[in-house]
Amino acid sequence: MAMLVVVTEAVPPRLRGRLAVWLLEIRAGIYVGDVSKRIREMIWEQIEALAEEGGNVAMAWASNHESGFEFQTFGDNRRVPIDHDGLRLVRFLPPMDK
């Protein structure tokens, strides 16, 4: 079991409800819990299926990596994960013109 944090932005209410089944929503769109790898992977499958309707999601969990955690993202966001010599970092894209 490992600590899991999921941060959502502008996702469909169905996804928020689904996340609340497994995790505690401590603030609007921020979910935490202590889950197994199998449950974490199942949650991510739900995120991919339901976030296609809109919004973006970041999910982070405790691990044995140098940083002490791993993360993955889904959806459009100015913050984009990159790999820098085996270390996962976040790159900021320029603002999007509307």
Among 34, 44, 41, 40, which residue's Cα sits nearest to residue 1? Answer: 34
- Coil, strand or helix at 89: strand
CATH code of the domain made up of 2-92: 3.30.70.240
User: What pTM value is reported for the model?
Assistant: 0.89
* Per-residue pLDDT tens over the stretch 23-81: 999 999 999 999 999 999 999 999 999 988 889 999 999 999 888 999 999 998 888 88
Q: Which residues pair with 7 in a beta bridge?
A: 30, 58
> Per-domain residue ranges for the chain?
2-92
State the pLDDT confidence band at 8, using cuts at 50, 70 and 90.
very high
pLDDT given at position 9: 95
End-to-end CA distance of the chain: 42
